[in-house]
A and B are shown apart, each in its own frame.
Chain A
C-alpha cells in the first residue's frame, strides 16, 4: 500500500477525517465539562440567595 503513487492523498484524507472527528469529540466533551462547572456555580449562587432569604426570615 505504501508504494502506491497516491499514498499522500490517502494519508491526507485519513488525517483530515481523524482531526475533524477529534475536533467534534473535543467540542462535545469540553462543552459538557464547562457547562457542568457553570451549573455548579449557578446552583451555589441560588442556594446562597435562598439561604440568605431564609436567614433574613429568621
Chain B
C-alpha cells in the first residue's frame, strides 16, 4: 500500500489524498469499475430492487388514498404525493449526474459517463412529472397553471438542461468527446441546484417555502407526511432500478460497438486473401 502511494502521489499531496487512494485501491472499487462485474451485480440486485419498488408504490398509493384531506386544500393535497417526490428526484438525479461528471473528468471512472448518460432521460422524466403535477396543483390553488416565479422558472431551466444534455449526447458521434462535453455542461448547469433550493428564500415567490426539510422540523401534519415519505422512497427506488438498467444498456451498447468493430477488422483482414484466392 505504502509503495503504491509513494508511486502515485508526491509527499505533500499524500496526506490529503490517502483516503481517496485507499478507496481507489480497495477491491470493491476496482471491481465496480469493471463493466462485466457491474452487469453481474445488476443481474443479482435488480429483482430485489424491482420487488421493493413495487411494494413501496403499493403502500405509498394506499396511504395516499387513505390520507385525510387538508383543511385548506381539501383532496387536492393528494397531488403533493406525486409532485414533491418528483421534485426531489429531479434535483437528486442532477446531483447524481454532477458527481458522475466529476467521475468522468477527474477520476476517469469507466462507468461514470455511462451513469451520467443513463440518468439524463430519467431526470427529464421526473422533472416533467414535477412541472405538470405542479401546474395541475397550481390551477385550483393559485388560480393559474403557471407563473414565472423563481422556483418554477429554475425548475423549467433544469428540465431544459436535461433535454440539452440528451441532445448533446446525440449530436456528438465520438463517445469520448460527447462524454467530456456533457460532463462540462452538467457541471456548469449544477449552479441551478442551489438556485432551485433557495429560490423560495431569496425571492418573493408564489411557490411556498420548504415545509419538510427545514430548520425546526417539518410543518406538515404526520398523517400527510407519512404517505409523502413512503412515496418519496418509492420514487427513489424506481430511479435506482431504472438507472441500473439504463447503465447496463449503455454497457451493452459499448459491447455492440466493440464486437461490430472486431468483426469489421476480421472481415477486412480476410477480404484481400479471399479475393486473391478467388482470383
Q: Does any Cβ of A come within 8 Å of B151's Cβ?
A: no
Interface centre among A9, A14, A53, A56 (most CB of B within 10 A): A9
Bound CA span A24–B166, Å: 14
B242 touches which of A1, A9, A16, A24 (Cβ 8 Å): A24
Q: Is the pair B263, A7 in contact by a Cβ cutoff of 8 Å?
A: no
The listed residue (B74, B128, B253, B267) touching A49 by CB distance below 8 A is B267
Q: CB-CB < 8 A to A25: which residues of B?
A: 242
1/0 per position for B61-90, CB-CB distance to A under 8 A? 000010001000011101100110010000
Nearest chain-B residue to A32 (Cβ)? B249
Listed stretches B131-139, B181-189, B211-219; interface member: B131-139
A6 near B274: Cβ-Cβ < 8 Å: no
Selected contact of B76 from candidates A10, A38, A46, A50, CB within 8 Å: A10
Instruction: Give complex CA distance A36, B43 in Å.
Output: 14
B122 lies within 8 A of chain A by Cβ: yes
Q: Which residue of chain B lies nearest to A43 when distances are taken between CB atoms in the complex?
A: B259
| B82 and A13 form a contact (CB under 8 A) | yes
Q: Chain A residues near B128 (CB, 8 Å)? A: 20
Residues of A within 8 A of B137 (CB): 9, 13
Interface size class of chain B, counting residues whose CB lies under 8 Å from the partner chain: 35 or more
Q: Smallest CB–CB gap between B275 and chain A, Å?
A: 11
* Shortest Cβ distance from residue A31 to the other chain B in the assembled complex, whole angstroms: 5
Verify A32–B76 contact, CB threshold 8 A.
no
B3 to chain A, nearest CB (A): 41
Main secondary structure of the interface of B (DSSP, over half): helix
Flag B117-142 by CB within 8 Å of A: 1 or 0 each.
Answer: 00001100100110011001101100
Contacts of A36 on B, CB cut-off 8 Å? Answer: 252
Contact assessment for B86 and A28 in the assembled complex, using a CB-CB cutoff below 8 Å:
no
Name the contact of A28 in the complex, choosing from B65, B82, B245, B274 (C-beta under 8 A).
B245
Q: Which residues of the partner chain A approach B177 to less than 8 Å between Cβ atoms? A: none
| A4-B74 contact given A17-B86, A49-B270, CB 8 Å threshold | yes
The answer for the CA separation of A16 and B255 in the assembled complex, in Å, is 35
Q: Give the shortest distance, in Å, between A29 (CB) and chain B (any CB).
A: 7
Closest to B235 in A: A21
B67 CB to closest chain A CB (Å) equals 10
CB-based contact A56/B256 at 8 Å: no
Q: List 10 A-B contacts (CB under 8 A).
A: A6-B74, A6-B75, A7-B75, A13-B136, A17-B133, A28-B242, A39-B255, A43-B259, A45-B259, A53-B269
Residues of A within 8 A of B (CB): 1, 4-7, 9-10, 12-14, 16-17, 20-21, 23-25, 27-29, 31-32, 35-36, 38-39, 42-43, 45-46, 48-50, 52-53, 56
